[in-house]
C-alpha cells in the first residue's frame, strides 16, 4: 500500500491517503497531550507501543467476532486501516472507579463495580467533549438508535474480551475509551486505538499504574510503564 497525501493530523496520530479509496494509513506519534490539550509532552517510543499493541488487540477482537477497522501493520509506527467516518462519540467503559468518574461523583479510585458502566462524550474539541446521553446523541443526530445499540453491545463485548486478556497478563483493565466508525456501506466497526493512552491499566498485584496517568499526574516512569505493557503483551 502506498502512502499518499496527509489527510489529517491529530494529537497522537497522522492519517494518510493511499491509492485505494477505502484504505488509509495511520502513523503513530510520540506526542502526548492531557487535560483537553493543555498539558503537552513527548513519551519516547509511545507511538511504537500504541501501534503494535492496538493492532494486536484489534486482531484478538476480530477473532472474537468484533469487527474492527484493522487491515495490516506496515511497520512499527504505521498501519493500514479501513477508511471510516468516525461516529462523534467517545465511548467509555469502566470496571473500577478512577479519573473523571471518581472526581465527578466524589468517590475514591479503586471501587470495583458490580457490573461495568458505559458513558458517552460528544467528540467536539470546541465544547471540550461534554458528557452526553443516548437521547441527546439521538437529538443531535450523532448516531441512529440502531447504531447506538450496536455500539453499546460491541463496547461491552470488547470489555469482556479485553478484561480477561489483560488479567492473564496480571493487569486490571480499570477503564478505557473506544471510538467507532462507519464503513461506506454503513457498517459500524471499532476504530481509533486501544493502548495505554486510551486505557487505564493497573498491575493486578501492586495496583501500580501502567498507563498515561503516569504522564497526566507527573508520576515519573512514563516510558517504563509503556515498555512494561509492551513487554507483558509481546514478551521479551
- Footprint on this chain of ligand UDP (rule: CB under 6 A): 90, 92, 98-101, 129, 175-177, 198-200, 212
Least separation in angstroms between CB 185 and ligand UDP? 28
Q: Which is nearer to ligand UDP, 12 or 188 (CB)?
A: 12
State the Cα–Cα distance between residues 51 and 46, nearest whole angstrom.
Answer: 8
Q: Which is nearer to ligand UDP, 67 or 99 (CB)?
A: 99
Give backbone dihedrals phi and psi of 16, rounded to 5 degrees, phi first.
-120, 145
Cell of 123: 467528540
Least separation in angstroms between CB 4 and ligand UDP? 28
Q: Which is nearer to ligand UDP, 123 or 182 (CB)?
A: 123
Q: Which is nearer to ligand UDP, 147 or 211 (CB)?
A: 211
The closest of 151, 173, 144, 179 to 232, measured between CA atoms, is 173
Cell of 3: 502512502
Least separation in angstroms between CB 86 and ligand UDP? 13
State the Cα–Cα distance between residues 25 and 83, nearest whole angstrom.
Answer: 9
Residue nearest to ligand UDP (CB): 99
Least separation in angstroms between CB 92 and ligand UDP? 5
Q: Which is nearer to ligand UDP, 127 or 145 (CB)?
A: 127
State the Cα–Cα distance between residues 47 and 7, nearest whole angstrom.
Answer: 19
Least separation in angstroms between CB 198 and ligand UDP? 4
State the Cα–Cα distance between residues 31 and 46, nearest whole angstrom.
Answer: 8
Q: Which is nearer to ligand UDP, 63 or 105 (CB)?
A: 105
Least separation in angstroms between CB 201 and ligand UDP? 9
Amino acid at each position: 500500500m502506498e502512502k499518499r497525501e496527509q489527510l489529517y493530523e491529530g494529537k497522537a496520530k497522522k492519517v494518510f491517503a493511499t491509492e485505494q479509496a477505502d484504505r488509509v494509513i495511520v502513523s503513530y506519534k510520540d506526542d502526548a497531550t492531557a487535560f483537553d490539550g493543555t498539558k503537552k509532552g513527548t513519551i519516547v517510543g509511545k507511538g511504537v507501543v500504541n501501534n503494535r499493541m492496538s493492532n494486536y488487540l484489534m486482531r484478538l477482537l476480530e477473532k472474537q467476532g468484533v469487527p474492527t477497522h484493522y487491515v495490516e501493520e506496515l511497520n512499527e509506527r504505521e498501519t493500514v486501516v479501513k477508511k471510516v467516518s468516525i461516529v462523534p462519540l467517545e465511548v467509555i467503559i469502566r470496571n473500577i472507579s478512577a479519573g473523571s468518574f471518581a472526581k465527578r461523583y466524589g468517590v475514591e479510585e479503586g471501587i470495583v463495580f458490580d457490573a461495568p458502566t458505559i458513558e458517552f462524550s460528544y467528540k467536539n474539541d470546541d465544547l471540550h467533549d461534554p458528557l452526553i446521553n443516548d437521547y441527546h446523541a439521538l437529538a443531535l443526530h450523532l448516531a441512529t438508535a440502531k447504531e447506538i445499540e450496536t455500539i453499546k453491545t460491541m463496547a461491552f463485548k470488547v470489555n469482556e474480551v479485553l478484561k480477561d486478556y489483560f488479567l492473564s497478563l496480571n493487569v486490571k483493565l480499570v477503564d478505557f475509551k473506544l471510538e467507532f466508525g462507519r464503513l461506506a456501506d454503513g457498517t459500524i466497526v471499532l476504530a481509533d486505538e486501544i493502548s495505554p493512552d486510551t486505557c487505564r491499566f493497573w498491575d493486578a498485584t501492586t495496583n501500580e499504574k501502567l498507563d498515561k496517568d503516569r504522564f497526566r499526574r507527573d508520576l515519573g516512569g512514563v516510558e517504563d510503564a509503556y515498555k512494561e505493557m509492551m513487554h507483558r503483551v509481546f514478551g521479551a
